[in-house]
Amino acid sequence: MGNTIRRALLMSGKEIEYVVTSNPPRGGMKYTYFTPDKKFVIQFFNNPENAADPAIHDRIQAIIGRYNPTVSEEKGGAAGNDERTAAYFSKCYCWPVDIVVRPEFGIVSPSYPENFFFGDNASQILQIKGKDKKSNWFTGKSRKYLNSSELGDFRSMIQMSILLSRAVRRLHQAGLAHSDLSPNNVLIDPRTGTCVVIDIDSLVVPGLFPPEVIGTRGYVAPEVLQTLGMERKKRKFPGIQTDLHSMAVLIYEYIFLRHPLIGPKIYSQNPEEDDYLCLGEKATFIENPDDTSNRPETLNGTVKNLGPYLEDLFIRTFCRGLHNPSERPAAIEWERGLVKTWNLIHSCSNPNCSKRYFILYDINNPVCPFCGTRIKNDTVLRLSFYAQRRGNPGRWYKVSEMIAENNTPLCLWNFYSGVFPDEKASDREVKAYIREKNGKYYLVNLSLEGLLSQDGSIVPAGYASQITGGTAFRLVRDKNSLLLRAELFSVK
């Protein structure tokens, strides 16, 4: 049977063409056709009862409209959204854009960006050209068959984690929950450090639109799995707290390439029951500091190697919060902790290290935990940034710190208080950078007006000033300027 082009009538009144194929991609609830230019997908429901369900119709209309973070509030999208934030989040999700009313009820969504599909040279062994980049291709056994150019590195995995936590945070701020965060619904591209959240049409709106799915094995929160089969009033259903578990599992897998709960411990001789207990009622974090019963003999890197921010978040999620959902840190805590951790990344001195980077939080032990290589620098520069307390001139508090090396970029949020590297940042250009030469460090100004040196003199664009240890100075001639404290450490 050859492909046939048909036309669909949309709720907006527009018509759109789509290509009908004999064997369309099919998921648990829907099957998919593409527009001729493949820029959009048209999805119809497998079950006619779902297609006729008024509650599903209402849910999708609300998702496309008043809950939509990819459309400004002025144009009918999510509250508080302006054009800039809408444009930012349109890259974080494949959010539905319209509803098909004829020939049957369906959904129109943007196709995934091209970088989330495998290309011709993705693998010499696996036949994956054109397949979407689900994260288990990169974190599972198939990873070894992918070309090295596809794999990214430790830094790109942290960057993806930041973007995922930000996307989930935005959903939760609107009162939404994804309900099925998993490799199937979060596509990743380690080469560029980006990810995109898909299958948006099944979002949970607590108290309004209940969950339609339970989730995916390995990512379902223990309380959901544990209460399967119970009467409805005793069941635990997917929501914001279960998203926090699923998201943390994904982030742990991105960083360590292993599952946080699947270890050597045997919970039952019955394989099916063992799997159920491992991920549900008896789930145990493989790095639980107080219970080592599920710990593998060897671990290539641990949460302790990620510095204090991420170690705390993982322990809270997979120890205290594993069976007590209210203890799980919120998505915004993950976003902030990951950004703080990003600033502590240092390159590994081993050219053959698969991770290429690690978190240098312990100046006294500058060793890559993944390959055991000690950094070759003679010195390490640590920068601490302080903001002035509102209404208290001369009183400063620490807002962030950074491990700087050659070519470390600096943006507006590194110079001014009240500026953050999130969706609201209007200027993301690199304004200056750190240059290292023969163990000495310099602050090089690219385009920042009013940049100050240690002695308080102006550093014009195109010029540099040396940074020496034990100094503290305002970075910019501006009342909102941050204070910089520089420390140099010898690592010989």
Per-residue pLDDT reduced to its tens digit, 274-288: 999 999 999 999 999
Q: Are 182 and 164 in contact (CB under 8 A)?
A: no
| Mean pLDDT of the 419-438 span | 94
Helix (H, G, I), strand (E, B) or coil at 21: coil
Does residue 212 register a pLDDT over 80? Answer: no
Q: What is the pLDDT of residues 176-206, one digit of tens each?
A: 999 999 999 999 999 999 999 998 888 988 7
Write out the DSSP string of 85-110: HHHHHTTTB----EEEEESSSEEEEE
Residue 111 tokens, joined:
């196709």
| Mean pLDDT of the 371-380 span | 90
- pLDDT given at position 392: 76
pLDDT bracket for residue 302 (50, 70, 90): very high
| Mean pLDDT of the 469-477 span | 92
Pairwise CA distance, residues 348 & 339, whole Å: 20
- The domains of the chain are located at 4-111, 115-342, 377-490
Least confident of 208-212, 214-218, 441-445: 208-212
| Mean pLDDT of the 229-255 span | 93
Rounded to the nearest 10 degrees, how much is the dihedral formed by the CA atoms of 176, 182, 186, 188?
150
Query: Which CATH number does 377-490 carry?
Result: 2.60.200.20
- pLDDT given at position 14: 95
Rounded percentage of the chain residues whose pLDDT exceeds 70: 99
Please give the order of strands across the beta sheet that includes 471-474: 396-404, 379-388, 483-490, 471-474
- pLDDT given at position 185: 93
Our CA angle for 368, 373, 377, nearest 5°, is 90
Does residue 391 register a pLDDT over 80? Answer: no
pLDDT bracket for residue 229 (50, 70, 90): confident
Does residue 334 register a pLDDT over 70? Answer: yes
Q: 75 phi and psi, to 5 degrees? A: -100, 15
Instruction: Give the end-to-end CA distance of the chain in Å, rounded to a whole number.
Output: 71
Matching fold, domains 4-111 and 115-342: no
DSSP state at residue 275? H
Q: What is the pLDDT of residues 19-59, one digit of tens each?
A: 999 889 887 788 999 999 999 999 999 999 988 999 889 99
- pLDDT given at position 2: 61
> Would you state the CATH architecture of domain 4-111?
2-Layer Sandwich (3.30)
- pLDDT given at position 258: 97
The rounded mean pLDDT for the chain is: 94
| Mean pLDDT of the 67-92 span | 95
| Mean pLDDT of the 106-130 span | 94
Q: Which helix (H) or strand (E) holds 400?
A: strand 396-404
Expressed in percent and rounded to 5, the helix, strand and coil fractions of the chain are 25, 25, 50
The domain covering 115-342 belongs, at the CATH homologous superfamily level, to Transferase(Phosphotransferase) domain 1 (1.10.510.10)
Residue 207 tokens, joined:
């108290």
